[in-house]
Structure 1
Amino acid sequence: MGSYSYTNTSPYQPQDIEDASEFYDVIERSSLTHQLSESRPYVYWTMEIYDKANGIKGGGGLGVLAADTRRVAEKLEVPFVVVTPFYRSESHQKITDLAQTEYVEKVSPQEYGFHYIDEVSVSSAGFPDASLSVFRKTLGSTQFVTISEPNFGQLYEGEGSGDHRLYQEVALGFGGYKALKLLGIKPAVIQLNETATIFAALARLDELCANGMNLYEAIVYVRKHTLYTNHTLLQAAEPEFHRSQFEKLVLPNLKSNAVRCWLMEQFRNDRLRPNLLAIELTEAKNGVSKLHAHVANFRDRNNDKVKFHAITNGIDLETWVLPEILQAYREHAIIDKFGLPTEQCQEAISGLSAATIRSLKRTGRLELNRVLARRKDQYNNPVHLPEDALVFDFKRRFANYKRPHLPFERPEVLKQILLDSNAHYILAGKVHQGDHDMYQQLLTILKLVDSDPVLRERVHYIQDYDETLGRALAIGSDVAINVPIIGLEACGTSWEKDIANLKLLISTSDGGVADIKPIACLEVSGVSLEDETTSLYANMRRAAQIIANDELLTQHIHRQLTAYLPIISGARMLKDYLKFLFPARHTTK
């Protein structure tokens, strides 16, 4: 993402951290100074990372989270390595006659400062070995280690249970592990960001056994040093592969007969979901919000329910928060130099006045309009929002469970809200390739908007949703709408960016929002779709009233920040992971 340009010099200046030991002392893990190093770092495996500034454009929230985790580690000087594919083609969205189409742009690692290291290979039965190019880029205490080859394909290309998807996962796991060995990097701990990365743990298990370690001792070792971070609520929703696919694509990469036999024993009726391997090969497991950890329904091979520890996703504040707002947080002692909430955070938040909040939001609107001037709406025109207009937004992946259709259930009511409040509604988010039902839903919404002159003037669908647009909307609009079906959102982080940027949030009690009970925002509730729609419209009207009144505005912004800023902090998230993975050492006298 490019730097802000609405002001010559940002008032926010990050405070220097001498080295990671400062942070380790604050989180009561001073021993990490000896446990983590450049050659023995924290290693984070992920199929996607959304970090366009470094040339890698992921598909959604999973990739955004991965990028934020690395950024936070860099700022805190924590030795941290991301192992991920470098996708040489990335998909973009275009709206033609109100329907979504896609086009592809080619990218290369060298264009973004990655350095070529060497080749590693992965094997498959009946085919020549696939040669993977290893590229590395160092950013402070952190590194990208990427694998790539011309036929690797786009992110999540092909069917979820198809051969090509399995090849991508095998290449990342086994190829990525070989890349680390090539670079002399031995992980102190491995975090698997979702099931698709499990072959990294299998590669480590195979190496240990091939070097002479007993299978069960090796399993214990791998389990002790591997964390499985799950973002999926239902085990059955994850891909399943046939034994023949593993025989073709996985077994040729295993050197140990013991590991081969153990792996084949995991199949049931010749089928295997890789999440069962993730459960077997990791001791530490976490969900990404309190609700997710509680409701995630996963079973091990004995059909016992798997227990997930809750570590709620956070964001990198410096990436997503308006610099002037971040400076205000520093000046009011709301957050410290590490990005952690201070002990006096709650009292300090009360010092943010309505005048300060409104001034900061005006600055944010300038940035939003700067970005919108370079983007296109559903009619391929730029958008300019009046300074005095109220702006609602819905910005997230266009998925059915996120319910982008909900505000359009009663068009006449929505139209009246927009007119009465002098409001505009911005809709942003792509349909995943191949999701034909959501292609149709997007087309239906845009045709509905097109059919009414008021909606056509005040509802703007912004094409090709990405980090830059997401940040601009978080900074510059007034009210965020987050209405997933309860029980289906693992966490979400868009709402966190909204609250951190002093926006009002309208939300169902789901994902990370539900870490606080009752939720500390305008809640959409009801026992039916009709009830929830009524509740949403009532909250949109209520939000307009709150923003028009200084006292109500400060009351609600203070309430949201007090409840959620300790959750939103990316430094808090990394602290929680480090404390979970490296328990305090107790000494006896």
Structure 2
Amino acid sequence: MKAYQQFHVLPTLPQPLERLRELAYNLRWAWDADTIALFFRMDRDLWEATGRNPVALLGAISQERLEALAQDDRFLAHLRRVGEAFDEYMRAEAVWYDRCHPSGSTEPCVAYFCAEFGLTDCLAIYSGGLGILAGDHLKSASDLGVPLAGVGLFYQGGYFRQYLNADGWQQERYPLNQVDQMPMTLVRDAAGNPVTVTVEDPEGPVHLHVWLVQVGRISLYLLDSNVAENRPEDRSITGELYGGDQEMRIRQERVLGIGGVRALRALGVDCKVFHMNEGHAGFLAVERIREARADHGLSFEEAVEFTRASQIFTTHTPVPAGIDLFDPALMDRYFGNMYAELGVDRERFLALGRENPEDPASPFSMAVLCLRLSSHANGVSRLHGHVSRRMFHTLYPGALEKEVPIGHVTNGVHYPSWISKEMAELFDRYLGPRWQYAPADAKVWARIREVPDEELWRTHCRRRERLVAFARRRLAAQLEQRAAPPSQVRQARQSLSIDALTLGFARRFATYKRATLLLHDPERLVRLLTDPERPVQILIAGKAHPRDHAGKELIRQWLHFARDERVRGHVAFIEDYDMAVARYLVQGADVWLNNPLRPLEASGTSGMKAAANGVLNLSVLDGWWDEAFQPGLGWAIGGHEEYADREEQDRVEASALYDLLEKEVV
């Protein structure tokens, strides 16, 4: 991978518009509707063409347009209003953390490590639920005033962009992230040189630069190996998210864990607690053991206890197959030179990550490492907590399963990032502003009954119309990309209905999520979709991992079903699922469908985003829905059953799903 060569092509901002740069480089705009409206009014077409990226917008807009805006008193008034709101947000003192910890420090005290962060459409360093959750975590921490610093990796290739070939088979492309057009800055020292940290690999040191992404009040630091001093194979370590083989994975995780701790030290960020959000970040614990020995002269066992007290682990994985496992020989290659520095022999070190410490052939598990080196561990829903205690029971000899020290903190979502503008305005009118700043206040939400049914329904219908318009544009563009006949493109622009009951299904196409459960009885589905008295349509989106051929086959099956003349116009697959697509779907669908194999959905948050917009959930009792479901607030597919026979489970639950749709939902 080539080193970056940056060209700053930003036009000169007239003095009255200088604040635009500060607003563009702080991601608070991503969840503030008024700031988005400000950039939108600068140039509507360019805003969309740049992927709703204010930094790229400022680099592409004409000087003439900027000069005109600098003379436009209406735009300047809007800019002043946005700037004042931004200043008030950044200096706010009566936020949740200050109220709970009036004498607490505002300096970062929690380091939040994650392999991916989904913050906004134009910062493509996420793949799915883990990254979206991490991004929402940072935004919520900013709103609440939690003194937290994020640590991740900057992937020049990001995660893949999806398109489908004529047969409906997923294809991938990896456009490079253009750093000079992204809302982040290279961290430099007092002399103006890039801050650089190193991680020692078997072939020599890997040099890492650090990028800063400002997320409201929160700083996110992203490590980048695409540095000119590195060998080509080292520059590619942070090339792609979840790309490459196991050796590439261990190299990425060393950069995240070891490099991340060293970056915080180099920047003078003195965090007291280190949070490992999934096992990818586990090597931070190894680096902190090394530090504790070097700084305090501790033995290995003392250093383990010293660092464990300030480390937290969140597991998101409900099945052993989802855990990173490294061969002992690979561990020797990348950690053999650290054994002496850690004051430990090979077997004792590898035992930290072995499910059975006595088995020399056992692979090194990142989840086991994190559990052994954390003082607190949690799953991401109540049910997932039970699953995790069962899955890791053998690590705690003599303990009953219920005594395994893994709790749960059910995932959540950052409401302002996912609620539609219309719904937010409705909440403002009837709930007041506290719905954003005090979401746990039951008195605020008691006012929801004051919203007139007619007004709520009109608001939702407008969002469905917007979703249909978006889907039509995307479907037409997809067909044009595949060189489809003009007649098909025209048909796509008229497909779907603004009045039909709209089901939404959007998520990663992993096989356990059973994306094709609704296709179990195609004829029954055809009848359901095409009932002239009660028409139904379904919009689908999602990506399969590039190496998951079974997941790709599920996508292909939906594409082939959608081409059935009987359901044409009732089924649409929207390619290249990302945060922008997700927002349209969770805001505009009528019913949100989720039918994973219970209990393999650790939490799931797309249904939460839909519910925040007044969309009803139709879901298997798994993840968050297992504890949130109440009769009258959506539907449950099946009960709490778990099956030994997968085919039998699919048959029973597909039948239950059809029954619910036919008799209750539609």
| Same fold at TM > 0.5 | yes
Corresponding position of 1:123: 200
Deviation at 1:508, TM superposition (A): 0.7
Q: Which residue of 2 aligns with 1:105?
A: 175
Query: Does the aligned pair in 2 maintain the 1:480–1:498 contact within 8 Å?
Result: yes
Deviation string for 1:242-289 (max 9, x for gaps)?
Answer: 222112113435673325654234353243212121011101111101
Query: Aligned pair 1:37/2:37, yes or no?
Result: no
Q: Which has the higher contact order (CA 8 A, sep 6+)?
A: 1
Matches of 1:54 and 1:447 in 2, distance apart? Answer: 31
Whole-angstrom CA distance in 1 between matches of 2:143 and 2:469: 28
Select 1:75's aligned residue among 143, 164, 181: 143
**1:407 counterpart residue number:** 518
CA contact (8 A) 1:21 1:30 kept: no
Q: Select the residue among 413, 421, 424 that pairs with 1:326.
A: 424
Q: 2:132 aligns with which of 64, 67, 79?
A: 64
Partner of 1:390: 501
Of 436, 449, 455, 1:356 maps to: 455
1:130-529, aligned counterparts within 5 Å?
Answer: 130-149=206-225, 150-152=235-237, 153-159=239-245, 162-211=246-295, 212-235=297-320, 237-252=322-337, 256-259=341-344, 262-266=348-352, 267=354, 268-270=359-361, 271-296=363-388, 297-299=391-393, 301-303=395-397, 306-333=404-431, 336-345=435-444, 347-376=446-475, 379-380=479-480, 381=489, 385-420=496-531, 421-450=534-563, 452-516=564-628, 520-525=633-638, 528-529=649-650
Question: 204-213 or 441-450, which moves further after superposition?
Answer: 441-450
Partners of 1:86 and 1:109 within 8 A in 2: no
Task: State the one-letter code of the partner of 1:57.
Answer: I
**Which moved further from structure 2: 169-178 or 509-518?**
509-518
Q: Distance in 2 between matches of 1:492 and 1:541?
A: 25
TM-score, with normalisation over the residues of structure 2? Answer: 0.75
> Which amino acid letter does the alignment assign opposite residue 318 of structure 1?
P
For residue 177 of structure 1, report the CA deviation from its aligned partner: 1.0
In structure 2, what residue type is equivalent to 1:320? W
Contact 1:276 1:300 in 2 (8 A): no
Q: Aligned with 2:584: secondary structure?
A: helix
Cα displacement (A) at 1:77: 2.6
Distance 1:263 1:332 in 2: 58
Alpha-carbon shift at residue 183 of structure 1 (Å): 0.5
1:49 is aligned to 117
Moved more, 424-433 or 350-359: 350-359
Unaligned runs of 5+ in 1: 546-589
Q: 1:321 to 1:337 in 2, by over 3 A?
A: closer
Change (3 A) 1:210 1:99: same
| Alpha-carbon distance in structure 1 between the residues aligned to 2:334 and 2:267 | 25
Paired residue type of 2:470: V
The RMSD of aligned alpha carbons is 2.8
Amino acid at match of 2:179: P
Q: 1:320 Cα deviation (Å)?
A: 0.2
| Counterpart-to-counterpart distance in 2, 1:477 and 1:370 | 13
Q: Give the SS at the match of 2:442.
A: coil
- 2:280·2:324 contact (CA, 8 Å) conserved in 1? no
- Which residue number in structure 2 is paired with residue 574 of structure 1? none
- How many pairs were matched up? 534
Q: Which residue number corresponds to residue 537 of structure 1? A: 658
**Aligned 8 A contact 2:277 2:314 in 1:** yes
CA distance in 2, matches of 1:543, 1:81: 47
Determine if contact 1:87/1:148 at 8 Å carries over to the other structure. yes
Equivalent residue of 2:200, what SS?
strand
Report the identity percentage: 26
Task: For residue 536 of structure 1, report the CA deviation from its aligned partner.
Answer: 1.0
Does the 8 A contact of 1:480 with 1:495 survive in 2?
yes
What is residue 560 of structure 1 aligned with on the other side?
none
* SS in structure 2 of the partner of residue 498 of structure 1: helix
1:24 equivalent in alignment to 2:97: yes
- Aligned pair in 2 of structure 1 residues 302, 429: CA closer, same or farther (>3 Å)? same
SS where residue 232 of structure 1 aligns? coil
Contact 2:90–2:216 (8 Å) recurs in 1: no
Partner Cα separation in structure 2 for residue 135 and residue 16 of structure 1: 23
Contact 1:20 1:78 in 2 (8 A): no
**AA partner of residue 329 (structure 1):** F
- Which whole-Å CA distance do the structure 2 matches of 1:52 and 1:350 have between them? 32
Question: How far apart are 1:444 and its partner, in Å?
Answer: 2.4
Corresponding letter in the other structure for 2:409? I
| Equivalent AA in structure 1 for residue 653 of structure 2 | E
Task: Tell me the CA shift for residue 445 of structure 1.
Answer: 2.6
Whole-Å Cα distance in 1 between the matches of residues 448 and 90 of structure 2? 24
Seen in structure 2, the aligned counterparts of structure 1 residues 84 and 255 have a Cα distance that, compared at 3 Å, is: farther
Name the CA distance, whole Å, in 2 between partners of 1:84 and 1:22.
26
Counterpart CA distance in 2 for 1:190 and 1:257 is 19
Give the residue type in structure 1 aligned to 2:293.
C
DSSP-derived class of the 1:376 partner: helix
8 A Cα contact 2:113 2:281, kept in partner: yes
**Aligned position for 2:48:** none
Contact 2:475 2:572 in 1 (8 A): no
The 3-state SS of whatever aligns with 1:173 is: helix
Q: Look up the match of 1:562.
A: none
Distance 2:329 2:376 in 1: 30
SS for the counterpart of 1:375 is helix
Cα contact 1:287–1:308 (8 A) shared by 2: yes
Partner-residue secondary structure (3-state), 1:332: helix
TM-score where L is the length of structure 1? 0.84
SS in 1 for 2:569: helix
Does the Cα contact within 8 Å between 1:203 and 1:254 map onto a contact in 2? no
Q: 5+ unaligned residues in a row in structure 2: which ranges?
A: 1-29, 42-77, 188-194, 226-234, 481-488, 642-648
3-state SS in 1 of match to 2:437: coil
Which one is further off, 507-516 or 268-277?
268-277
- Between stretches 12-21 and 46-55, larger displacement belongs to 12-21
**Does structure 1 residue 85 correspond to structure 2 residue 153?**
yes
* Contact 2:435 2:444 (C-alpha < 8 Å) held by counterparts: no
Report if aligned partners of 1:45, 1:84 keep a CA contact under 8 Å in 2.
yes
> CA–CA distance in 2 between the matches of 1:439 and 1:363?
33
- CA 246–72 in structure 1, closer or farther in 2 if over 3 Å, else same: same
